Structure 1
Amino acid sequence: MLAFLRKQMQELLEQRAALKTELDGILKEPTAEKRDLSDQEQTAFAEKRDAIKKTDTDMDTIQARIDELVDEEQRSAKADEIRSKYQPDSAKPAVTVTSEPETYRKGGKQSYFRDLYRAQQVGDRAAMDRLQRNDAEVAAGLEKRALTTTDGSAGEFVPPLWMVQDYVALARAGRVVADQVQHQPLPPGTDSISLPRLASGTATAEQATQNSTLQNTDATAGSVTANVATIAGMQVVPQQLIDQSPINMDEILLADLAADYAVKLDTFVISNNAAGKRGLLNVSGLNAITYTDASPTVGELYSKVGDGIQQIHTGRLLPPDKIFMHPRRWAWMSVALDTQGRPLVVPVAQMPSNALAALDEVVSEGFVGTMQGLPVYVDPNIPTGLGAGTNEDRILEVRSQDIILFEGTPKAESFRETKADQLSVLLRFYNYAALHSERYPKAISVVSGTGLIAPVF
């Protein structure tokens, strides 16, 4: 469209130049200076002049449209820049299969549950071979994600690759905060992970005089420990479903387990409150910002968010990089108006000049926009029943690289003995995780108080 309009503009410029030449030609006739223009000459002059005016009007219209399109392109480019910077590409597959398909795949003929049962309870060698081949496929597929399948014992098998992707890579809707902190593979053979940290550092000082003793301060070191937690679930299924079902139940059961695991892991990262397993909201020594107001406003909350940011700057001496809040809090902000009736949170494509935040995506979970230069993510797993009135939510501001989530790969087992009297099979799934949230408490700011009660719209 822009190319077409610019071509039209060039043609009009050439047309105007030609008309101007013809108009000048009438005025410069050899006899025109010594006499009045004839009726025919006056008519021609008026026609050329009107044609030039019309050309000028047409060029103004086209130029305005060009400016509008250029502005739209710039806004779109800005929106794409923000989206590509902050929005995770969860749709991109973690593994590209270039040869034969995976042993267990969505819509495939082989059932992971059936083989799991037959290998562990019946000793079916073919089923065992398929499960072991699947383990190798998963291990190869997870190399790019720095996850391992080494923790566990010989009696366990790793779920199919597509299901692990749902657990770890694609189940982002249920684990927004958990996916935005630093990830590390969970080391095998341990129930706790300790990381060193300096309790106090060395020091320098101006030398009093030449040849005098220099400042000598010994650093003291300590450590912070994260205990490994187990997140597990089970499902009892009838033997007939495993043996006789014409369809594989893998997709239904595994997808449901993956979705629930994502929620439980995210909740563990946000609000768990046990020694060595502190969620972000319960870290001792974090930056606590209290917003107390019976009639809260977005403008007042905006300054509290800024306070949380500056406290990370001041206490951690490095900048925060992400803000998390409940969807209801972002929705409340997005409908707020200033005294002139203008929205305070405006779609980023409009490039507002008076907004306190920019809305990029309309989603229930995940990246939604920016505020004070930081990406904002909404996560419904942030609790809303806190405070004295059990109706407050919280806003988290963090330096995400200072928070480390160690996560293993889910494992599966089958048991027939405990349910033999009812011809059922118990399927058990579990995973291990450890969270290091307390190494740098000043890298976390939490806004709380009565100003964050359930919003009124």
Structure 2
Amino acid sequence: PDLDRRGAMFQSDVVASALGAEGNFEARERLARHMQEERVERGDQLQRAAGTGAFAGLVVPQYLTDMYAPAAQANRPFADAIRRHVLPSQGMQVNISRVTTGSEVDNQSAENVAVDEQDMDDTNLAIAVQTAAGQQTLSRQAIERGAGVEAVVLDDLFRRYNTNLDGKLLNQATTGLSAVATAVTYTDTDPSAVELYPKLIEGLAGVEAALLDMASGENIAVMHSRRWYWLQNAMASTWPLITQPGVVAQTLGANYATAYGRGVRGMLPNGTPVIVDNNVATNLGTGTNEDEVYLVDRQECHLWEDPDAPMYIRAEQTKAASLGVLLVVYGYYAYTHARYPQARKVSGTGLVTPTFA
């Protein structure tokens, strides 16, 4: 021991034993004798256990970056359910010709007399291409010294982009679904699902009456999650006189137990699929506590999107003097629910904040 106070020989033996170097048999024997001597000389110390608190400067805190919790978003359930098109590569407006005056056909009143004639006329439906964008400035330290910071920020920006787009489809002034839909008013101081249901059927009847032979038959109901769960909460002792395919007559519809944002959540008693979307406003009406239920032919709700949207810009030069990196997410889109005036919405005091009892 006096010849090896720095432990050089001990370290050599450890390496030789571990790596199988030449002479490792002798090295293992020396290590075994050393451990036996240590047990005799300092056995009480070898039995002691030191916890992580004894090595505060060596036990590094771990951050589970793969399990970070993003900010929850309403995302785009309605946008994913309607008819989607590729946005043209140029221009800030798309146009659709709508025939507003059609021709006429009637029986000829007599032989060799003029038959009915009506000049057709159309009206141009101009649809604006809109730009949605958001930005975030990160320090270079956060990007270069952090773990996945840039990816987390971009993920949040992309999801907020989707939420904004879906919210505009529903709530934008003048062109949003709430603005263009024909109202079916449900007024009630003591609302119930049984009383709401006929209003939903009235709305669906209005959708078909507006579209006639242009109806695709792919009607959907769009509502807030609070309204969907309120409908599920309802009980009834009566059921429809006319049964519907896939729906048990004694129920008020069906719940598919689908997760939020994963498509159709269930169906109404008449078989209409339900899309639950929490971008539906809940601050409507005089009491600012009402929501609305929308009833549409999903093939007549049109959304044009750039196939590459949303896109992003990563600009380092802009904020170079402050060691910042600018991230900008943007995209172009256009939409219309007004090619035919078919959309209906059930609204009124019967749709105040629901109570569950």
Give the direction of change, closer, same or farther, for the CA distance of 1:295–1:188 in structure 2 (3 Å limit).
same
**CA distance in 2 between partners of 1:411 and 1:336 (Å):** 44
Per-residue deviation at 1:259? 1.4
CA shift digits 1:5-47 (9 cap, x unpaired): xxxxxxxxxxxxxxxxxxxxxxxxxxxxxxxxxxxxxxxxxxx
**CA distance in 1 between partners of 2:187 and 2:83 (Å):** 32
Aligned residues of 1:237 and 1:426 also touching (Cα < 8 A)? yes
Q: Does 2:177 correspond to 1:280?
A: yes
**CA distance in 2 between partners of 1:313 and 1:320 (Å):** 10
Aligned residues of 1:320 and 1:397 also touching (Cα < 8 A)? no
**CA distance in 2 between partners of 1:453 and 1:367 (Å):** 24
Aligned residues of 1:325 and 1:395 also touching (Cα < 8 A)? yes
Alignment counterpart, residue 207 of structure 1, candidates 108, 119, 122: 108
Aligned residues of 2:158 and 2:329 also touching (Cα < 8 A)? no
Give the direction of change, closer, same or farther, for the CA distance of 1:172–1:389 in structure 2 (3 Å limit).
closer
TM-score normalized by structure 2?
Answer: 0.72
Give the direction of change, closer, same or farther, for the CA distance of 1:421–1:390 in structure 2 (3 Å limit).
same
Q: Does 2:175 correspond to 1:175?
A: no
Per-residue deviation at 1:416? 3.6
Q: Which residue is equivalent to 1:374?
A: 272
Alignment counterpart, residue 297 of structure 1, candidates 192, 199, 214: 192
Q: Which runs of 5+ in 1 are unaligned?
A: 1-106, 108-170, 343-347
> Equivalences for 1:297-446 in 2 at 5 Å?
297-317=192-212, 318=215, 319=217, 321-339=219-237, 352-361=248-257, 363-365=259-261, 366-371=263-268, 372-408=270-306, 409-442=309-342, 444-446=343-345
**CA distance in 2 between partners of 1:304 and 1:176 (Å):** 23
**CA distance in 1 between partners of 2:146 and 2:279 (Å):** 37
Aligned residues of 2:161 and 2:310 also touching (Cα < 8 A)? no
**CA distance in 2 between partners of 1:329 and 1:246 (Å):** 42
**CA distance in 2 between partners of 1:401 and 1:189 (Å):** 24
CA shift digits 1:219-273 (9 cap, x unpaired): 111111111111101111112344x337443431222122111111110111111
Per-residue deviation at 1:292? 0.3
Q: Does 2:93 correspond to 1:196?
A: no
> Equivalences for 1:1-400 in 2 at 5 Å?
174-242=75-143, 244-245=144-145, 247-274=147-174, 278-283=175-180, 286-317=181-212, 318=215, 319=217, 321-339=219-237, 352-361=248-257, 363-365=259-261, 366-371=263-268, 372-400=270-298
Which has more helix, going by share of residues? 1
| SS of equivalent residue, structure 1 residue 174 | coil
Q: Which residue is equivalent to 2:355?
A: 456
Q: Which amino acid is the alignment partner of residue 285 of structure 2?
A: G
CA shift digits 1:342-398 (9 cap, x unpaired): 9xxxxx99x633112111115344421111111111111100000111000000111
Aligned residues of 1:287 and 1:312 also touching (Cα < 8 A)? no
Per-residue deviation at 1:174? 1.2
Which structure ranks higher in relative contact order (CA pairs < 8 Å, sequence separation ≥ 6)? 2
| SS of equivalent residue, structure 2 residue 350 | helix
| SS of equivalent residue, structure 2 residue 201 | helix
CA shift digits 1:68-126 (9 cap, x unpaired): xxxxxxxxxxxxxxxxxxxxxxxxxxxxxxxxxxxxxxx9xxxxxxxxxxxxxxxxxxx
Q: Which runs of 5+ in 2 are unaligned?
A: 1-65, 67-71, 240-244
Q: Which residue is equivalent to 1:87?
A: none
Q: Which residue is equivalent to 2:6?
A: none
Aligned residues of 2:73 and 2:163 also touching (Cα < 8 A)? no
Per-residue deviation at 1:336? 0.8
> How many percent of aligned residue pairs carry the same amino acid?
33
RMSD between superposed Cα atoms in Å: 2.4
**CA distance in 2 between partners of 1:437 and 1:305 (Å):** 19
Q: Which amino acid is the alignment partner of residue 204 of structure 2?
A: I
| SS of equivalent residue, structure 2 residue 346 | strand
Equivalenced residues, count: 274
**CA distance in 1 between partners of 2:73 and 2:296 (Å):** 19
Q: Which amino acid is the alignment partner of residue 310 of structure 2?
A: P
CA shift digits 1:171-227 (9 cap, x unpaired): 996101111111111112211111111011001010001111111111111111111
| SS of equivalent residue, structure 1 residue 429 | strand
| SS of equivalent residue, structure 2 residue 79 | helix
Q: Which amino acid is the alignment partner of residue 440 of structure 1?
A: Y
Per-residue deviation at 1:287? 2.6
Q: Which amino acid is the alignment partner of residue 352 of structure 1?
A: V
Per-residue deviation at 1:339? 4.3
Per-residue deviation at 1:420? 3.2
**CA distance in 2 between partners of 1:435 and 1:386 (Å):** 23
Q: Which amino acid is the alignment partner of residue 252 of structure 2?
A: L
**CA distance in 2 between partners of 1:222 and 1:255 (Å):** 42
**CA distance in 1 between partners of 2:80 and 2:286 (Å):** 30
